[in-house]
C-alpha cells in the first residue's frame, strides 16, 4: 500500500537504533515493533515492498505515543513525527485506523459551546463517580469558570479547546504574569477554538488543515497582524508552530513564526517581571514532549522558573514521555499506564512537592496517578503575588 510517505524521508533512517531508549513504548515493552526503528521499518515494508497491513502492523503504528522523543536522539534527523502523522492519515483515509466513533469524539473540540456543555456533563458525571479512573481525566473538571478579560493587544494568548474548558485557571495565571510584565493580553477564546493537534495525531488531515486555516484567518486580521501569539499548552504550541509545514504556504510560515511557548516568550522579558516571594517548595520539572522534543524550547522553562523557585530539580530520565500523548492515555490505557509508572518512579526519586508541567494532557495524566502537577505559570503567578 502506498502510505504516501516521501521516499527520501523514509530512507533517511539507517536503522542504527539510537532512538530505542528514547521511545517510551520500547522502554516499557522491549519490543522492536514498538520502537521508532521498528515502525519505520514497517512503513518501508508496507510502502516500498508491498507488505500487507496486518493487525500487527496497525498495532505497531497505533501504539506510538507520537511524543517524538526519538527525533532529537536521531543523528540522521529522520522526520519521524511527520512520517507517523502521514502514515496515520493514509490509514485513517483507508478506514484502517481511527474509527468513526473516535472521529466523532473529536468534533466538539472545534465547537466551544458543545465542549462547554460536554464539560458540564463530565463534571457532573465525575462527581457521581461515573467516569473510569483509567481515562486519566483529572480529578476536578470544573463545572463553571470565570471568563478571561481582554486587557490589551500586545500579545494574543491562545486559550484552545480542552484546556480552556478544563484548566482555565492556568490561562488566568498566564495572563496575570504577562500583564505583570507589562503586556496587554487578548485571550483568543472563541475566536480560535482549536489548534487541531489531536486531529493531527489521529491522522484526520482534512480536519487538521481546515482548523489551521480558520485559526490563521482569525488571528491574522489586520489589527493582530504582527502580534505575538503566546501559548501555554505545549501540544498546541507545537502544532501551531508546524502550520508552515502542514500547509506549505508562506503565510503559514509567517504565522508559525509568531507562535511562542509562554515560557519561551517570557524568558526574553524576565527583567520586566517583579520578583515577589520565591516558591519554597521543591519543584521538579517535567518537560512535555511537545515542548522538549518538538518545540525544543524546554530550557526556557528553567530560565523562567529559576528566578521564582529556590529548589528546582531535574528528573533523571532523559525527558522520556509520561504516556499522556493527547488521547493516547484513553486509546492505549495499559501502555500509557506502564509508561506513567516509569515516570512516577523518576519523579519519586527526586521527592518533589510539586511537578511543573506545561501541557494539559500531561498534567491530567500524571494527576490521575496522584502526582501534584502545576503549570509553570501558576508558580510564577503565585511568586509574583508574593
The owner of cell 483568543 is 188
CA dist., res. 123 & res. 138, Å (int): 10
77 torsion bin: left (phi>0), alpha (psi -120 to 50), beta (else) = left
What's the min distance (Å) between Cβ of 77 and another protein?
6
Which residue in 64, 335, 314 sits closest to 202, CA to CA? 64
Which CB atom, from 162 or from 315, has the smaller least distance to another protein? 315
**Measured CA distances, 332 to 20, 67, 356 (Å):** 20, 14, 24
Pull the grid cell for residue 238: 507545537
CA dist., res. 319 & res. 260, Å (int): 21
- For the chain, the farthest-separated pair of C-alpha atoms sits apart, in whole angstroms, at 63
What's the min distance (Å) between Cβ of 19 and another protein?
8
What's the min distance (Å) between Cβ of 23 and another protein?
10
Which CB atom, from 9 or from 251, has the smaller least distance to another protein? 9
Half-sphere exposure of 200 (CA within 13 A, CB side): 27
Which CB atom, from 37 or from 290, has the smaller least distance to another protein? 37
C-beta contacts of 92-100 below 8 A and 24+ residues apart = 92/202, 92/203, 92/204, 92/205, 93/203, 93/205, 94/1, 96/53, 96/58, 97/58, 97/61, 97/62, 97/202, 97/203, 98/202, 98/203, 98/204
What's the min distance (Å) between Cβ of 290 and another protein?
22
What's the chain's length in residues? 386
What's the min distance (Å) between Cβ of 306 and another protein?
16
DSSP label at 292?
I
What's the min distance (Å) between Cβ of 65 and another protein?
18
What's the min distance (Å) between Cβ of 9 and another protein?
10
Which CB atom, from 14 or from 217, has the smaller least distance to another protein? 14
Which CB atom, from 74 or from 148, has the smaller least distance to another protein? 74
Which CB atom, from 37 or from 343, has the smaller least distance to another protein? 37
CA dist., res. 348 & res. 269, Å (int): 33
What's the min distance (Å) between Cβ of 76 and another protein?
4
Which CB atom, from 74 or from 246, has the smaller least distance to another protein? 74
CA dist., res. 243 & res. 212, Å (int): 7
What's the min distance (Å) between Cβ of 51 and another protein?
7
CA dist., res. 161 & res. 159, Å (int): 7
Which CB atom, from 154 or from 317, has the smaller least distance to another protein? 317
Which CB atom, from 31 or from 268, has the smaller least distance to another protein? 31
Binding site for another protein (CB under 8 A): 8, 11-12, 14-18, 20-21, 29-33, 37-38, 41-42, 45, 51-52, 54, 56-57, 60, 73-77, 316
Amino acid at each position: 500500500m502506498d502510505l504516501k510517505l516521501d521516499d527520501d524521508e523514509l530512507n533517511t533512517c539507517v536503522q542504527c537504533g539510537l532512538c530505542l531508549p528514547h521511545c517510551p513504548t520500547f522502554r516499557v515493552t522491549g519490543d522492536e515493533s514498538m520502537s521508532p526503528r521498528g515502525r519505520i521499518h514497517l512503513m518501508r515494508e508496507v510502502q516500498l515492498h508491498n507488505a500487507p497491513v496486518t493487525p500487527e502492523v496497525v498495532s505497531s503504528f497505533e501504539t506510538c505515543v507520537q511524543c517524538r522523543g526519538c527525533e532529537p536522539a536521531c543523528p540522521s534527523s529522520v522526520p519521524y513525527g511527520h512520517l507517523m502523522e502521514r502514515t496515520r492519515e493514509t490509514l485513517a483515509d483507508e478506514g484502517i485506523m481511527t474509527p468513526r466513533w473516535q472521529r466523532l469524539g473529536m468534533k466538539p473540540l472545534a465547537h466551544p459551546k458543545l465542549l462547554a456543555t460536554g464539560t458540564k456533563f463530565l463534571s457532573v458525571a465525575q462527581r457521581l463517580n461515573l467516569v473510569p479512573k483509567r481515562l486519566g481525566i483529572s480529578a476536578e473538571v470544573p463545572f463553571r469558570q470565570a471568563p478571561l478579560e481582554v486587557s490589551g493587544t500586545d500579545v494574543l494568548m491562545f486559550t484552545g479547546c480542552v484546556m480552556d474548558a478544563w484548566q482555565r485557571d492556568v490561562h488566568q495565571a498566564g495572563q496575570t504574569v504577562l500583564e505583570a510584565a507589562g503586556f496587554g493580553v487578548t485571550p483568543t477564546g472563541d475566536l480560535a477554538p482549536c489548534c487541531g493537534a489531536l486531529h493531527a495525531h489521529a491522522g484526520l488531515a482534512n480536519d487538521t488543515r481546515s482548523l489551521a486555516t480558520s485559526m490563521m484567518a482569525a488571528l491574522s486580521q489586520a489589527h493582530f497582524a504582527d502580534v505575538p501569539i503566546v501559548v501555554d499548552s505545549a501540544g498546541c504550541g507545537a502544532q501551531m508552530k508546524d502550520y508552515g509545514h502542514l500547509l506549505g504556504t508562506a503565510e503559514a510560515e509567517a504565522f508559525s513564526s509568531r507562535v511562542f511557548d509562554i515560557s519561551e516568550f517570557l524568558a526574553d522579558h524576565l527583567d520586566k517581571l517583579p520578583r515577589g516571594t520565591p516558591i519554597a517548595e521543591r519543584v521538579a520539572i517535567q518537560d512535555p514532549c511537545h515542548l522538549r522534543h518538538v518545540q525544543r524550547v524546554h530550557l526556557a522553562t528553567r530560565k523562567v522558573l529559576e528566578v521564582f523557585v529556590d529548589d528546582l530539580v531535574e528528573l533523571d530520565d532523559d525527558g522520556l514521555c509520561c504516556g499522556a500523548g493527547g488521547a493516547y492515555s484513553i486509546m492505549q490505557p495499559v501502555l500509557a499506564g506502564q509508561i506513567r509508572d516509569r515516570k512516577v518512579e523518576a519523579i519519586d526519586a527526586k521527592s518533589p512537592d510539586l511537578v511543573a508541567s506545561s501541557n494539559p494532557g500531561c498534567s491530567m495524566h500524571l494527576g490521575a496517578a496522584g502526582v501534584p502537577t502545576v503549570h509553570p505559570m501558576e508558580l510564577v503567578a503565585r511568586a509574583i503575588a508574593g
